[in-house]
Structure 1
Amino acid sequence: MTAYFKPQSGRCSQRQAQIQKEQAAILYVDTQNFNCHSEGAEMRVLLQDDSQEMDYFKKRMQIALPNWQKLKAACSRADIQKIFTVIESLTQDGRERSLDYKLSGFHVPKGSWDGQVLDEIRPGENDIVIPKGSSSVFISTNITYILRCLGVSQLMICGCVTDQCVEHAVRDGCDSNFLITLITDATATYSEERQQAAERAMSGYCRKRTTQEVIDEILPQQSPHGLQVGA
């Protein structure tokens, strides 16, 4: 058999398929106290550095957090499964963390406040929270099995950091045979250069949409401006 290369272009490819609610889930990546709350263990250290990178991250979070809330409300109305993955060890001493997390100095003990999702988007009783001990939720957890059991084939992804754990989820999710939608204005990193570079790098693995565009897809008959945040 002869090798071939038949690239699909534009919005006509299967990768650009709109969200079908019955086949979809949304994944929040690392939207937790450790790295998003001013009192989180990582943020307390980073905020000591009054740098342009931290200024950008804070501004980006002012956009991302309200969008996380809007997406949570919209997915609740659309009966779309909400999944949160958080940096959290399975043990108190973190012995099972990835080598990269150990070298990077990341440790969130099992059951700690730092491992909890932000109060503003607190998971409900039927939402799923998956602790992870590496940058990729697809490598260090059973999320693939869970998504298969749920009948999910389309996965929307948001969270932080855009060019680290979010990008890992996008790439590995695609390679695990899920159609990925990256919600660009619901992600955060430490510079505009990093944000744009990550979005470009992920283009071959996902389609990119804004929060508003995603809400319009999953709630086409409802005014998105009427959504009650936190529902």
Structure 2
Amino acid sequence: MKPNPKYLSFYYQTMTEFPDIELDPKKTALLIIDMQNEFVRRDMGEALQFKEMGEWERWIPFHDRLDNVTIPACKKMLDYFRANNMYVTYGRIACLLDNGEDRCAVQKSEGWNGMLLPVNSVNAAMIDELAPQDNEIVVNKTTDSVVTGTNYVRLMQNMGIETIVVCGIVTDQCVASTIRDLADNDFKIICVEDGCAAADQELHDAELKIMNVIYCNVLSSDETIEVIEKNRK
């Protein structure tokens, strides 16, 4: 499948031939990152903070993309993986201590990355539309990357996973950090473009352009399903 030229960086603009994506569906897992009440819902968490700060108008396009594009694409991937008895996994921001002292320095900082989400809080839970079911792995992180500070890589290696399909938020932070770490740990990665979102479209597009081909394959949800189906034996 030829990459979308929109997401080809300087390094790959002169390439004319791209190898087909090969994977084993039985060794492929879905990873949904940070689609939590705190960040996604308009009636709690960060949305309320933005409204109090008078910044809500600036964030409406992000939430519109979540509601109209990202959540439906994540749900499409989730339904597909479940229907085909493929592995579903989650990574979410959640600290084990109520005071958050187990968080990394970035999450203790002031500004966008500063957040306190105790593991059993409603805010830390995945949104209802994408809630995990029994026998689906959820790892809690106090870092941006799902890999750093968790046993996610070890779990995937134990299960024989070779390819990870990534959805979630935000594209240029937790999603990008996770994809780079997974690539460095020898996994093949598909980043589902419509299943991700950043604070604005420019950041989203720029990060996908940087990561595509070298760290992952950037595909739409429909293209991802098409690739998996073509690789069924």
With the shorter chain as reference, the TM-score category is 0.7 to 0.9
Displacement of 1:197 in angstroms is 0.7
Which string of whole-angstrom CA distances, capped at 9 and with x for unpartnered residues, describes residues 36-64 of structure 1?
A: 11233223213441333x12202211200
Residue segments in structure 1 that go unaligned for 5+ positions in a row: 1-6, 222-231
Query: Aligned pair 1:23/2:23, yes or no?
Result: no
Could you tell me the TM-score, scaled by structure 1's length? 0.86
Displacement of 1:212 in angstroms is 0.6
Query: Aligned pair 1:37/2:16, yes or no?
Result: no
Residue pair 1:83, 1:129 contacting (<8 A) in 2 also:
yes
Which string of whole-angstrom CA distances, capped at 9 and with x for unpartnered residues, describes residues 43-97 of structure 1?
A: 3213441333x12202211200011111111001121111111110011111110
Displacement of 1:20 in angstroms is 1.9
Match of 2:123, SS?
Answer: helix
The residue aligned with 1:11 is 18
Residue pair 2:95, 2:116 contacting (<8 A) in 1 also:
yes
Aligned-residue CA RMSD (Å): 1.8
CA distance in 2, matches of 1:29, 1:75: 16
Letter in 1 for 2:132: P
Could you tell me the TM-score, scaled by structure 2's length? 0.85
- Residues 145-184 of structure 1 aligned to structure 2 (within 5 Å): 145-184=154-193
Letter in 2 for 1:140: G
The residue aligned with 1:186 is 195
Residue pair 1:60, 1:189 contacting (<8 A) in 2 also:
no
The residue aligned with 1:56 is 61
Displacement of 1:220 in angstroms is 5.4
Query: Aligned pair 1:211/2:221, yes or no?
Result: yes
Match of 1:145, SS?
Answer: helix
Displacement of 1:218 in angstroms is 3.0
CA distance in 2, matches of 1:47, 1:120: 24
Residue segments in structure 2 that go unaligned for 5+ positions in a row: 1-11
Residue pair 2:47, 2:56 contacting (<8 A) in 1 also:
no
Displacement of 1:139 in angstroms is 0.7
Match of 1:83, SS?
Answer: strand
Letter in 2 for 1:107: L
* Pairs aligned (count): 210
Residue pair 1:21, 1:78 contacting (<8 A) in 2 also:
no
Percent sequence identity over aligned pairs: 25
CA distance in 2, matches of 1:161, 1:124: 23
Which string of whole-angstrom CA distances, capped at 9 and with x for unpartnered residues, describes residues 2-37 of structure 1?
A: xxxxx9x5421xxx5234211100100101111111
Which string of whole-angstrom CA distances, capped at 9 and with x for unpartnered residues, describes residues 183-225 of structure 1?
A: 001001121211111111112211111001112233459xxxx
CA distance in 1, matches of 2:83, 2:156: 20
The residue aligned with 2:106 is 100
Q: Residues 77, 200 of structure 1: CA spacing in aligned structure 2 closer, same or farther, 3 A cutoff? A: same
